[in-house]
């Protein structure tokens, strides 16, 4: 067997009684909270009928193919995964409405509470919830799920997952992979919250959507030290507050304001915001990305969000922060979250630690290697994306599904200060009507920068000219848009004892020693990135944060035990990446 079970540096830190017990939605936090992570029962069957016995233990929220799940089974398309969890609810927990939350379940599921069907969900990357008020009881309760995962055999979003893993395609994530939890609220509770800072007119706007009309809403704003600075009362749900002498958020000083929202005597929600602005402008070298109305060089990394023992799921909250902290130490200011939606706590950590996020939407559709990878690599990159069949998007249902998930993603991340940009399509995977979708996102959220076609199949839109360069020297040609190299590098070095696949190595340039790897890495920036800044380059995204399965082109190993650049003073290069 060429692959091995690779424990991460956090493997021994996992609390099996309740892993990832931290509150999962920091952007909208209540006191009411019951975490259901831990040991569940499960069973795999060949049909959808509920099994008579649940014979396997599974550690939720780790997907069933992972080492940490304790099952370590790749779910096939003709299999069903059944979950069962018994839990206790105290009388004082239950209010008017009890809501069951799932951070994410890949790919489709049916949910039952106390043997009553409460709902279904399709899509493996976004949170969903059910009102279970009519089914929950004081005392012992049971949740059951039936899960099916078609992975990359369907047109649904699947990211980098493949049933035939290898190279740049990874083991599927099947089943529950984010926190499962309960909250109970009163009628009239705050259902949705939209926070929009405006540094140009010194205001912050709050749009509240409540379950019912309210009489009074009190908003208290606290500074970074949690000292009260503003307290005002309102009777409307569209509220603008003046904020004078504010402090700007930036990666070098991620200043946050904390907020308490009180709706009558019905609901109390804690949240936060940052005074910051992302836009497009000009530097002395041409069009560029702007942070807080100032030119800002995007010095970033591609971040797949995989770890050796948890797959899509970080083993602990500290593990979730680890990559962000390690990359900041090296001087990076941006992570391009590649074709994955993270748990909301990950974005919270980017907000608090100071890391800009370029967020990819998750692709679906059919992948054609010749059309989407081979031809563009040798120079054939100009195709109109209304050729739905060529791009694997001939089904209307597939296109509609992508647009619906785009809406959900943009709404989900609206209140995350660190999210600066959305990448709609990457290298043509499932691409269609990029200009139309760009316009739709701009209506939903005009505060973010858009990369409509990352790498190739550029339709002439978007806020940036987004290039991928792996097999040739980086050359910058003038464009009316800011120019970024949003993927490059991919240099590979296998660290002995820290690889997933002993026999295979995937990367774009391979090195035999750590010194050779690190020196080539630094030279790449010295010879191809820094000289191109004066020619108009305003950002770059290196591939990548960590090794992933066969890919050994990360700065960190897959198990996060080795930082390949730790002793090579790359921070000195980072200091030179300025506009």
Q: Which two tokens stand for residue 521?
A: 């890495």
Separation between Cα atoms, residue 42 and residue 263, nearest integer Å: 41
- The most distant pair of C-alpha atoms in the chain lies apart, rounded to whole Å, by 70
Regarding pTM above 0.95, the answer is: yes
Q: Which two tokens stand for residue 365?
A: 């559709």
Q: Are 314 and 279 in contact (CB under 8 A)?
A: no
Q: How many helices (H) and strands (E) does the chain have?
A: 9, 34
Q: Which two tokens stand for residue 109?
A: 């599921």
pLDDT, residue 365, reads 83
Three-class SS of 208-241: EEECCCCCCEEEEEECCCCCEEEEEEECCCEEEE
Sequence length of the chain is: 579
- Determine the distance from the C-alpha atom of residue 560 to the mean position of all C-alpha atoms in its chain, rounded to a whole number: 19
- Determine the distance from the C-alpha atom of residue 120 to the mean position of all C-alpha atoms in its chain, rounded to a whole number: 23
Scanning 445-526, the segments in alpha helix (DSSP H) are 514-524
pLDDT, residue 1, reads 56
pLDDT, residue 501, reads 95
3-state secondary structure of 348: helix
> Nearest 5°: phi and psi at 229?
-120, -25
| Closest C-alpha among 232, 180, 173, 207 to residue 61 | 180
Q: Which residue(s) pair with 307 in the sheet? A: 311
pLDDT, residue 553, reads 97
Low-confidence ranges of the chain (pLDDT < 70): 1
Separation between Cα atoms, residue 185 and residue 181, nearest integer Å: 14
Domains identified in the chain and CATH numbers: 11-185 (2.60.120.260), 190-273 (2.60.40.10), 295-574 (3.20.20.80)
pLDDT, residue 141, reads 99
Look at the block and give the residue holding tokens 């509770």: 189
Separation between Cα atoms, residue 79 and residue 124, nearest integer Å: 16
pLDDT, residue 45, reads 98
| Closest C-alpha among 449, 415, 452, 417 to residue 433 | 452
Separation between Cα atoms, residue 41 and residue 50, nearest integer Å: 13
């Amino acid at each position: 067997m060429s692959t091995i079970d690779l424990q991460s540096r956090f493997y021994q830190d996992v609390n099996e009684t309740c892993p990832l017990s931290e509150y999962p939605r920091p952007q909208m936090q209540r006191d009411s909270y019951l975490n259901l992570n831990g040991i569940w029962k499960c069973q795999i069957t060949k049909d959808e009928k509920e099994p008579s016995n649940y014979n396997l233990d599974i550690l939720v929220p780790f997907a069933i193919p992972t080492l940490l799940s304790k099952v370590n089974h790749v779910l096939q398309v003709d299999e069903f995964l059944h979950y069962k969890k018994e839990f206790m609810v105290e009388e004082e927990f239950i209010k008017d409405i009890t809501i069951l939350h799932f951070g994410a379940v890949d790919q489709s599921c049916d949910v039952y509470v106390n043997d009553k069907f409460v709902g279904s969900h399709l899509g493996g990357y976004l949170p969903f919830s059910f009102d279970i008020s009519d089914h929950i009881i004081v005392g012992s309760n049971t949740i059951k799920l039936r899960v099916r995962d078609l992975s990359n055999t369907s047109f649904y979003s699947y990211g980098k997952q493949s049933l035939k893993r290898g190279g740049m395609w990874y083991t599927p994530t099947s089943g529950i992979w984010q926190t499962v939890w309960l909250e109970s609220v009163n009628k009239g509770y705050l259902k949705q919250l939209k926070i929009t800072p405006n540094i140009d007119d010194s205001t912050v706007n709050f749009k509240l959507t409540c379950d019912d009309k309210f009489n009074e809403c009190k908003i208290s704003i606290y500074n970074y030290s949690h000292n009260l600075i503003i307290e005002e009362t309102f009777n409307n749900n569209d509220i603008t507050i003046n904020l004078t002498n504010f402090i700007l958020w930036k990666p070098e000083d991620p200043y946050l304001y904390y907020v308490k929202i009180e709706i009558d005597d019905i609901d109390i929600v804690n949240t936060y915001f940052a005074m910051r602005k992302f836009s497009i402008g000009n530097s002395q070298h041409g069009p560029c990305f702007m942070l807080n109305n100032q030119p800002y060089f995007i010095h970033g990394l591609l971040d797949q969000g995989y770890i050796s023992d948890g797959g899509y799921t970080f083993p602990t909250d500290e593990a979730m922060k680890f990559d962000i902290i390690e990359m900041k130490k090296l001087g990076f200011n941006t992570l391009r979250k590649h074709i994955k939606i993270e748990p909301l706590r990950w974005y919270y950590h980017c907000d608090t630690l100071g890391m800009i996020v370029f967020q990819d939407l998750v692709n679906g559709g059919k992948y054609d290697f010749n059309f989407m990878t081979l031809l563009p690599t040798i120079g054939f990159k100009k195709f109109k994306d209304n050729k739905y069949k060529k791009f694997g998007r001939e089904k209307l249902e597939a296109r509609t599904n992508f647009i619906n998930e785009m809406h959900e993603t943009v709404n989900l991340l609206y209140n995350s200060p660190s999210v600066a940009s959305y990448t709609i399509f990457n290298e043509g995977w499932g691409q269609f009507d990029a200009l139309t979708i760009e316009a739709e996102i701009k209506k939903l959220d005009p505060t973010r920068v858009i990369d409509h076609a990352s790498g190739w199949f550029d339709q002439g839109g978007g806020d940036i000219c987004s290039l991928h360069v792996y097999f040739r020297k980086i050359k910058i040609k003038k464009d009316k848009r800011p120019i970024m190299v949003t993927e490059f590098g991919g240099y590979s070095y296998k660290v002995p004892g820290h690889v997933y696949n002993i026999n295979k190595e995937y990367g774009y340039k391979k090195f035999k020693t750590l010194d050779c790897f690190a020196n080539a890495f630094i030279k790449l920036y010295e010879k191809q990135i820094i000289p191109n800044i004066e020619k108009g380059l305003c950002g770059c995204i290196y591939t990548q944060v960590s090794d992933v399965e066969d890919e050994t082109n990360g700065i960190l190993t897959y198990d996060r035990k080795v930082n390949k650049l730790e002793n090579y003073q790359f921070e000195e290069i980072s200091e030179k990446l300025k506009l």
